[in-house]
Structure 1
Amino acid sequence: MHTCPPPDAIAAWLKETNRVNGDYGHLLLEQLSPIDPAELRPYFESAHLDAREVFHGDAGLDLHPDAGAPGAHAQYPACLPPTARRGLFGEVLCGLVTQQYQFVGDEDWAIPVFLFRYHADARKYVFALARDPARQRQLHGRHGNDFIAVCLDGDGAVVRFLAGEAKWRKALTPGEVETLMHGEWVDDGAGGKKRSGLGIWYGLNRELAAPDGLRQLQSILKERDADRFAAAILSLDRALILRAPVVIPRTDLVMLSGNAAKKHTAGTSLLPTNAAPADYTAGNPLQVVEVILKDADGLIDQLYDSLWGGI
């Protein structure tokens, strides 16, 4: 289970500009100074531990193999290729930010566990790489919700959930963000180009009231700590049944993270700050987060190389 709180060093790492207007929140986080990867390591190890145990067990690896042990080169998540690492970094950062900062609604969000064990291609990758070191390749992304957090009542039942869409980009330029939110350029049928409309807003607007991420979370809770989370498991059962489900209110989260564009001006946001855009029609409380970093590629590689004493 995920048990580690965000590190205190975040306050010196990121400058916060937080705006909440009704059911819309916008949080801009800009890097003030570098952060030591060692400050982030406990949080990232906690976030990845569930998937590490599952993937290593499936591949026949020890959880913490010695350097010379068979398959030691295939330890998750350090063994993953650079693009996959950056995607995972963005998703873990999504959780860290959720636990650290005030969001719309001012809920007390809990993250019992991250859902990385459901990254099927990563599981296949670790299994094959442990048996053949030459099996290095790029990975397909994980399907479903990038991130789920829950708000629990005094009895431990889920009374609201947060569904997050996390995207990492090497440079957060206006063009990259426009593509993320509105889709790729396509032929408009008249010799010109238009956005496909199949971006993040489209996906959020079509989300189910009870997405599969809730079932994934429930399955892990049943396996890992059914007694402690009995009330949460029962409340999710009631929300996930097909006949007359009990609706659990939902908050949507969009988090974009990456290196600052060359022309980035401090304090400048890439998405609206005062109200949800017209393209968002789901009707749930919406929280947008932009995390603007500097030279983050080095940080990500140092961090992932160092997990569980790697380097």
Structure 2
Amino acid sequence: MNRWLKPYPSVEQRYGHLLLEERADRDQNLAAELVPYFESAHRDAREHFAAQIGIDLHPDADEDDDDGVALLLYPGCLPPAARRGLFGEVMAGLAAEHYKFVGEHEWSIPIFLFRYHADVEKYLFDLARDSARVRAVFGRFGSDFLGISLSGDGAVARLIVGEAKWRETLNASTVDNLMLGEWKRNRKTGERVRKGGVWFEINRDLDVPHGVRQLQRLLFERDRDGHAAAIVSLDRALALRNPVAIPRTNLILIAGDGAATREPQTALIGWEEIPAEYTSANDLQVVELILDEGVALVDEIYDLLWAED
């Protein structure tokens, strides 16, 4: 990370901003060095989807149709737009675990929630049975990213819940549309207004979103003993009656190439004070990941995942 990106961090009370700019000379082995983390992030979903589709990932499985199986293996077989979205979500986890965010909590991402991408499951199931069914994939519902900070006894002391967005070129108008929502015409008044956007979604999110239940179930299934205290603390936070609150930090990560006219060290989301559009009481961390030929990097990473297999 340090050889790849140059960080420009700032913290103002409960607001952290981190600008990450790609260094001038990208290491030709960068994608290969990132592969282990990306494989770890996607391993649970890969195994889950393979079972749902009917693909045996065991090395001793029937090899009669190796080429056909390889074409269907998640996540490499997904459409390019879907892979770029996944890249942003994985980078949110990598950034949270590597850099100091607002509050200087120690974040860990025990497992990513990619298996809960229902449209990907349907896409893969259909594609396995009809290779012509290539199409765009809808995004996953709920939070893009979820991590935890553990107390000394292993209970969850704090949540980090995030939105990760990829745009091929990042400029002021693109980020405005992303954060404030696209312009829409009011049918009654004819007035142009913005609808949706990241600020709207993150401000109205539940303190304990649905992803927390998904994370708890995955921890119970994959590492019940290792995360026993975390599972119990999440269960208490999810209770419908008298829930035990867990403090939360919100994370927004935007990734993509900088515009041709962009000056170095220029942020697209203000860093000097917390943005006026943010009305949540939770701490906020913004990460801007500015790349150079990011599409090529994303494609190289996802083409390399499990390539040796």
Query: Normalising to structure 1: TM-score of the pair?
Result: 0.93
Structure 2 CA distance, aligned partners of 1:297 and 1:114? 22
2:136 partner letter: Q
Partner of 2:5: 14
- Kindly state the Cα deviation for residue 259 of structure 1 after the two structures are TM-superposed: 0.8
Structure 2 CA distance, aligned partners of 1:111 and 1:24? 21
Structure 2 CA distance, aligned partners of 1:111 and 1:287? 16
- Kindly state the Cα deviation for residue 67 of structure 1 after the two structures are TM-superposed: 8.6
Partner of 1:168: 166
Please give the root-mean-square deviation of Cα atoms over the aligned residues, in Å.
1.5
Greater shift, 30-39 or 262-271, is seen at 30-39
Give yes or no for the alignment of 1:206 onto 2:214: no
C-alpha deviations, 1:276-309, integer Å up to 9, x for none? 1111111111000000000011111111111101
Partner of 1:46: 40
- Kindly state the Cα deviation for residue 310 of structure 1 after the two structures are TM-superposed: 6.2
Equivalences for residues 121-270 of structure 1 within 5 A: 121-187=119-185, 192-196=191-195, 198-270=196-268
Gaps of at least 5 residues in structure 1 are 1-9
Structure 2 CA distance, aligned partners of 1:305 and 1:270? 30
1:31 to 22, 36, 41: 22
Secondary structure, counterpart of 2:140 in structure 1 = coil
Secondary structure, counterpart of 1:270 in structure 2 = coil
Structure 2 CA distance, aligned partners of 1:260 and 1:103? 23
Secondary structure, counterpart of 2:264 in structure 1 = coil
- Kindly state the Cα deviation for residue 71 of structure 1 after the two structures are TM-superposed: 2.8
- Kindly state the Cα deviation for residue 46 of structure 1 after the two structures are TM-superposed: 0.3
C-alpha deviations, 1:33-79, integer Å up to 9, x for none? 32421011001000000000000011111226759435331000000
Alignment check: 8 A CA contact 2:12 2:274 kept: no
- Kindly state the Cα deviation for residue 171 of structure 1 after the two structures are TM-superposed: 0.4
Alignment check: 8 A CA contact 2:213 2:238 kept: yes
Give yes or no for the alignment of 1:55 onto 2:49: yes
1:168 partner letter: W
Secondary structure, counterpart of 1:286 in structure 2 = strand
Give me the identity figure in percent. 52
Alignment check: 8 A CA contact 1:14 1:30 kept: yes
Alignment check: 8 A CA contact 1:157 1:232 kept: yes
Structure 2 CA distance, aligned partners of 1:159 and 1:86? 31
1:86 to 81, 84, 87: 84
Q: Count how many residue pairs are aligned between Structure 1 and Structure 2.
A: 301
Secondary structure, counterpart of 2:273 in structure 1 = coil
Alignment check: 8 A CA contact 1:52 1:63 kept: no
